[in-house]
Every structure is written in structure tokens, then in C-alpha cells.
Amino acid sequence: VKVTVLAGGVGGAKFVKGLLLAVNDLPGSAEITVVANTGDDMWLTGLRICPDLDSIMYALAGVNDVERGWGRSDESSRVSEELSAFGVGWPWFTLQDRDLGTHIARTSLLREGFPLSEVTRRLASRWSLPVTLLPASDQEVETWVELPEVDGEPSLVHFEEWWVRLRARVEPLRFLQRGVESALPAPGVVDAIQEADLVLFAPSNPVVSIGTMTGFPGAHGRVGVSGIPGIAEALRNASGPVVGVSPIISGAVIRGMGDVCLRAVGRPVSAVGVGSAYGARRRDTAHGLLDGWLVDLADADAVPVLEGEGIATVAAPLWLSDDTLATGVARAALALAERLHP
Ligand code: GDP
Ligand code: CA
């Protein structure tokens, strides 16, 4: 069975860990491809940083810091102490030593001329990951955030600066995907989507993790997010069912500040809001992406609403707090996909 997952960082990684256990129930062997968001990527201290690719790589390699929730375990920060003594880098964005090793290795390979997809393959091969990990694009497409100008603060900041330094407290005017017009899906992405037996959307940030790949339409006069050209089309052409898992439970994002992202694009912070923004994948709708959508048990009232919009919707427990729960979520997604299989 070929399964392709679209994923952001931490939420994506937790879901994929559950999926790796859940596919053991399926007959035959499973081949999992994870297409990771690259919208959070940036250049910092001369290095290319890819937060979501690294979160997934570290989590699947079992070298992630479980307590902190990001980065590698067994870390130190001697290099960043030196960098900040020189006044280089962002003092509020910690790059720890082992993690810096990844960024140096990546940058070195990029400078040798390898595209990000090949660089990612080489980095991941160190740990023989149980999945194929693909960046959404080899081109640099970065999410920037346009803010109302306050006290001479710049009005355009990189997503990570808005998220980490400003803690997403300033409501954005809009998100900008710099470089998106000329970007292409990375080699293997379109085939992985179109030829998969099923495609899953991890419960990741729908705007700045999934939306930067698929596009995410704005509403109520707000500008949406532009996806990598070709990814939404591949999803529309996918031969297997496309099933998403809601990152919103009872109108909340669980962890983090993803609710601000939804409000910024004029969408309600709810399982219905996200599901209907992705939309039903039907011949008579030009833009929909989903055949199925999982909502939490607490959001069971979303089921008839989204069914009415043409999306097969099932309520199931969606907490990913540990591997057992995450496996249950992945099983529910596989069961829904099985039901939808032509
Ligand atoms: P990031 O790139 O590291 O920010 O992570 P992602 O984009 O992959 O995922 C972050 C989102 O995952 C959060 O905004 C939540 O909406 C969602 N999330 C986190 N924990 C859970 C959970 O236990 N269950 C569900 N359904 N969603 C979750
Ligand atoms: Ca991210």
C-alpha cells in the first residue's frame, strides 16, 4: 500500500509516527512518503534552516527532544553563545550544536549544487528513515508576514520571526509566499500524490504548513495563502482517496498559536472551518481537495455540516498526546480512506 502524507513539523511528525504503527494492520507492506512543508525555511547565520523537514527527520530517527518538543535531544549551545557574542543571528531563535551540524551539512550540500530534495535524501539516509521524506519544493518559497506598522517595527517579517519573536501576538494583515510563482513541486511529489493508494493531510497548521503546499483560500475579504503550483492539481488528480485530519479540536489548536493564522485568512477556528476551506473534491467543484475529513469526537456536530458539503466526515478521538493515541488517529484515517476507495 502506498500512502502519501502532507505534513508540517511537530503535528505532522506525531501523526506519521502513529501511521507507521497503524500500517502494520494492513495486508502487505506499506510504502510511506511524507511531503513536508518548506514555507518555514530560512537563511540564518549563513545556513539554510528547514524547521519542518528537521522536526520530521529527528522524530522518525528517534533523536528528537521529546520534552521540549523540537530540535535534537542531548543538546548544548556553545556555538550559539559564540554567535551571539559576535552579535550574529537571532538571539531569540536558538540553534543548538547538534542541530547546527544538520544545517551546516545541508548548506554544504546545497552549495555543492544539490537540490534540497537530494540534500534531504542524503541527510535522512544517515538514519535509514522508515519513510521517504520529500520537501514540498526544491525552490525557496518562504512564508513572510505583513504586519501593521507599529513603533517603527518592520511591517514585513519572516514567518519564524513573527511566530517565535513576536509569539504571533500581532495579527497579520496577510501572509506572503515569497518565490511561490516560480516554484515547482520537488521531484517525486506529484507522482507520490497522484499514484498513492491514499493521501493523508496530517493535523498540521492548515494555513502555514499544509496551505503553503496546497493553497488555502481566504474568506471574508482576507487574502489566502498561495500553494506550490501543481500540488493542488496533483491532489485533484489523485487516484486514491484524499483524507484529512483536523488540527482543530473544540475550536482550539491544542498547542501553539495556529488559531491566529486561521483568523488572518478570515476562516473560523473550527473543524468545519478548516474542512470546508480545503473543500470537497468533486467534479462539480473546481477547487476542492478532500474526499474525507476526520474531526474529533468533541466536534461530532461538524459531521452533518461537512457531509452536506460533500465531504465524508467521521468523528474519532484526535488527540496525538502519545504514540498509542496517534496510532488510533492514523487507524481512523486509514479506515475512512478504505471506505472511500473506489
Ligand atoms: P509545526 O510545523 O511544528 O508548527 O507543526 P504542524 O504544522 O505540523 O502542527 C501544528 C498543529 O498541530 C497545531 O497548530 C495543532 O492545530 C495541531 N495539533 C497539535 N497537537 C495535536 C493533537 O494532539 N491532535 C490534533 N488533532 N491536532 C494537533
Ligand atoms: Ca512549521
Atom of ligand 1 nearest to the CA of 205: 7
Q: Cα(262) to centroid of ligand 1, in Å?
A: 13
| Nearest-ligand number for the alpha carbon of 203 | 1
Q: Is 150 exposed, middle or buried (0-12, 13-18, 19+ CB in 10 A)?
A: exposed
**Separation between Cα atoms, residue 263 and residue 219, nearest integer Å:** 10
Residue 201: predicted pLDDT: 98
Spatial CB neighbours of 106, under 8 Å, sequence gap ≥ 6: 47, 48, 50, 119, 123
Atom of ligand 1 nearest to the CA of 202: 8
Using the predicted structure, report yes or no on whether residue 153 has a pLDDT greater than 80.
Answer: no
pTM (global) more than 0.85: yes
**Mean of pLDDT values over 46-71:** 95
**Separation between Cα atoms, residue 105 and residue 276, nearest integer Å:** 41
**Separation between Cα atoms, residue 79 and residue 147, nearest integer Å:** 32
Residue 94: predicted pLDDT: 85
Q: How far is CA 73 from CA 69, 99, 145, in A?
A: 10, 9, 30
Q: Is 238 exposed, middle or buried (0-12, 13-18, 19+ CB in 10 A)?
A: buried
Which residue has cell 551540524? 101
pLDDT digits (tens, 9 = 90+) for 12-54: 999 999 999 999 988 889 999 999 999 999 999 999 999 999 9
pLDDT digits (tens, 9 = 90+) for 267-280: 999 999 999 999 99
**Mean of pLDDT values over 134-152:** 94
| Eight-state DSSP code of residue 175 | E
Residue 96: predicted pLDDT: 96
Atom of ligand 1 nearest to the CA of 259: 14
Q: Cα(209) to centroid of ligand 2, in Å?
A: 6
Q: Cα(52) to centroid of ligand 2, in Å?
A: 5
| Residue located nearest, by CA, to atom 25 of ligand 1 | 247
Residue 199: predicted pLDDT: 98
Q: Cα(316) to centroid of ligand 2, in Å?
A: 25
| Eight-state DSSP code of residue 169 | -
Give residue 342's pLDDT band: very low, low, confident or very high (50, 70, 90).
low
| Nearest-ligand number for the alpha carbon of 206 | 1
Give residue 69's pLDDT band: very low, low, confident or very high (50, 70, 90).
confident
Residue 322: predicted pLDDT: 94
pLDDT digits (tens, 9 = 90+) for 206-260: 999 999 999 999 999 999 999 999 999 999 999 999 999 999 999 988 877 889 9
Average pLDDT of the chain is 96
Pocket residues for ligand 1 (CB within 6 Å)? 7-12, 52, 55, 203-205, 209, 245-249, 253-256, 258, 318-321
Task: Among 205, 322, 325, say which to mutate for ligand 1: greatest number of ligand atoms within 8 Å of CB.
Answer: 205
Atom of ligand 1 nearest to the CA of 257: 14
Residue 255: predicted pLDDT: 77
| Nearest-ligand number for the alpha carbon of 209 | 1
Residue 27: predicted pLDDT: 86
| Nearest-ligand number for the alpha carbon of 5 | 1
Using the predicted structure, report yes or no on whether residue 169 has a pLDDT greater than 80.
Answer: yes
pLDDT digits (tens, 9 = 90+) for 71-99: 999 999 999 999 999 999 999 998 999 99
